[in-house]
Structure 1
Amino acid sequence: MIKPDLLKCFIAAADTGSFSAAGRLLGKHLATVSGNVARLEDELGVQLFNREGKYPQLTEAGLNLYDGAKVVVDSVERFTRNAVHLSEGVPARFTFAVHEDIDFQVFAPLVKQAQQRWPHMRIQISQQSASAIFNAVREHEVDLAFTPSLEGNSQFYEFQAIGHCDVHVVCGKQHPLARKQSVSNDDLMSHTQVLSADMNQQDALYKSSVMSPSLCCVNGHTNLVQLVKAGVGWAMVSSVNQEVDSNLKILSPDFVQTSLTVQYDLIWQKNQPLNEVQQFFQSNIKRLINN
């Protein structure tokens, strides 16, 4: 079986154009690089470089085998790196849940960074209602979740208060409320309110949020925003980074005397210390929320 070190010397010599430059690149002596390339040629039974000139030139066989050598070396390095991560406690799979009323788009860059950092790890993302998230964490089906704070349930999970997300009252730009200079409580009551279907009618948050007798309930942030943009009604939407869809009009109704916010937590399994991946998401989400 051909050793990856021999292939690395071959690739470095081809990339740099000389055995001495390849040695400097790899931190090896010229004789070692030259010897490894010669040994590789013996094992393959083909000549990889023409050595007649001042600098070695790839032969046709060398050109033909170059791409395959890179694939083998990259695969071995990736395999070794993945094995090291697993031995250090990085999980083979990571499941991250986000409350369905939050626009997941703001978390997408974190997922990309995690995938690049731990390419072996299978990342699973879900958006669920608060009750579904709590149950999934309790059943060890979710490794980390971002969800509104819910008092009285912490005996089932570990948690960290992350911060407040802004809540905006919005409507579509073609909605009648968008043309008003000021919006009264009576104005809101006279139009349909689009509401998250996740809200429990017995919760204080539900009772304080519902203002209109005409309601349209829907699951998920994306669906709620689509209905508002279509002119179905107005809504209260949560925003992690204070940005709101450009097709929505932010209203300042009479009842809003101060900024509306919702407290969010990160939660995970009870009595489980955070691993490296969970810590990565924890620190970055906290920074994202508090910027």
Structure 2
Amino acid sequence: MDIAALQAFRAAAETGSFSAAAERIFLSQPAISKRIAALEGELGTRLFDRIGRRVQLTPAGQALLARARVILNEIEDARRSLANLAGEIGGELSLATSHHIGLHRIPETLKRFHERYPEVRLDLRFMDSEAACAAVLRGEIELAVVTLPAGPIPQLKAERIWDDPLEIVVAPSHPLARLRDASAKALLDYPAILPGPGTYTRGIILDALGSLRTRMRVGMTTNYLEVLKMLAVIGLGWSALPRTMIDDDLKVVQIKQVRIRRELGIVTHATRTVSNAGQAMIRMIREAA
């Protein structure tokens, strides 16, 4: 079974598109189609249903995907191990980060890394922290710089780099802005603007509010903290934002006995080899922090 065909298959399965798969692994779309057609011919079964411009795995394709990931992850891990023996820093480094961290925490590190190691091809992907951790677990991404999950995830290694305290904020004209040392119950009277359900940050915010979490009235959701800030600034509700984002357009609401804190850091797979390039990136992130 051809490794290149398996790589094309995995990319198409994970992106749901031959064109997106071509962009991911730096091939033309006809090359992707040719490799997958050859793989289907070798296996004697159809792996994808073509639906317009999208593709969907058949039952046979779903069965192959799990095995293809294991095979390709083992091959990639072996390649990294052998390359590490030479001590060279090169090749490709797949790195995922959240939009907030990518904008506010690591731009200078990325710039310095590129200047110091121009021979490394950086595959940088912006995604939600939860999706990034899942991608590391599946072997799609070598390392992620994201909001860390509140609890351990089997087979993932998480390293805290930054503490990131959050504050309850509103527009200066919002009624909550006039309160001093308010009870958390005061928040129940106004809509909240929070990250989407299932996100680490939303869970951290609601956990900090204790038993009130089930009574909160969530008016709007978005996973982009910059958008949360904008919605709070124009007075559409209260939100919880990192202190590093708070400026004169927002008012911090002091809530008694409520402390919201999340951790940001690096996530890698616990049992897979980190490439020399990945180790260099981790060192530079630590140094910058």
Aligned counterpart for 2:230 among listed residues 226, 231, 239:
226
**Residues 88, 288 of structure 1: alpha-carbon distance in 2 compared, 3 angstrom cutoff:** closer
Aligned position for 2:170: 171
Query: Partner of 2:91 in structure 1?
Result: 92
Residue identity over aligned pairs, in percent, reads 18
Residue 152 of structure 1, CA deviation: 4.2
Do the aligned partners of 1:129 and 1:198 also contact (CA within 8 Å) in 2? no
* 3-state SS, counterpart of residue 252 of structure 1: coil
Deviations 1:189-234 (A, max 9, x none): 2111111105369957644454632432112222222222222211
Shift of 1:164: 2.6
Once the two structures are TM-superposed, the CA of residue 144 in structure 1 deviates from its matched residue by: 1.4
- Which of the residues 236, 241, 263 maps onto 2:240? 236
The letter of the residue matching 1:226 is: M
Question: In structure 2, do the counterparts of structure 1 residues 254 and 162 end up closer, same or farther at CA, with 3 Å as the change threshold?
Answer: same
Residue in 2 aligned with 1:145? 144
Q: Secondary structure at the match of 1:154?
A: coil
**Corresponding residue of 1:161:** 160
Of 247, 250, 253, which aligns to 2:249?
247
Q: How far apart in 2 are the matches of 1:90 and 1:165?
A: 31
Number of the residue aligned with 2:121? 122
Contact 2:180 2:254 in 1 (8 A): no
**Do 2:171 and 2:232's aligned partners in 1 also have CA atoms closer than 8 Å?**
yes
Residue 267 of structure 1 corresponds to: 267
**Structure 1: runs of 5+ lacking an equivalent:** 1-84
TM-score, normalised by the number of residues in structure 1: 0.57
Unpaired segments of 5 or more residues in structure 2?
1-83
Please state whether the residue corresponding to 1:282 is helix, strand or coil: helix
Which amino acid is 2:121 matched to?
A: R
C-alpha distance in 1 between matches for 2:109 and 2:248:
23
* Letter of the 2:139 counterpart: H
Cα deviation 1:65-108 (Å, max 9, x = unaligned): xxxxxxxxxxxxxxxxxxxx9x7432333232224565732211
Partner SS for 1:116:
helix
Question: Hey, what does 1:104 align to over in structure 2?
Answer: 103
Could you tell me whether the CA contact under 8 Å between 2:120 and 2:277 is conserved in 1? no
Q: 1:204 to 1:182 in 2, by over 3 A?
A: closer
Q: Distance in 2 between matches of 1:261 and 1:204?
A: 7
Q: Name the CA distance, whole Å, in 2 between partners of 1:288 and 1:253.
A: 33
Matches of 1:285 and 1:244 in 2, distance apart? 24
Matches within 5 A, 1:196-211: 196-199=195-198, 206-209=206-209, 210=213
Q: Is the 8 A contact 2:95 2:142 kept in 1?
A: yes
Indicate the SS of the match to 2:165: strand
Change beyond 3 A, Cα 1:124–1:234: farther
The one-letter amino acid of 2:255's match is: P
Contact kept, 8 Å, 1:149 with 1:265, in 2: the verdict is no
- Higher Rg: 1
CA–CA distance in 1 between the matches of 2:174 and 2:253?
Answer: 11
Q: Deviations over 1:126-184 (max 9, x none)?
A: 332333112211222222112313434232x3332335321222123343323444433
Structure 2 equivalent of residue 36 of structure 1: none
Q: CA shift at 1:111, angstroms? A: 1.0
2:278 — aligned with what?
278
Contact 1:159 1:265 in 2 (8 A): yes
Instruction: Tell me the equivalent position of 2:130.
Output: 131
Output the CA distance in 1 between the equivalents of 2:131 and 2:160.
19
Provide TM-score, normalisation by structure 2: 0.57
RMSD (Å) for aligned C-alpha atoms: 3.2
With over 3 angstroms needed to count, the CA separation of the structure-2 counterparts of 1:110 and 1:173, relative to structure 1, is farther
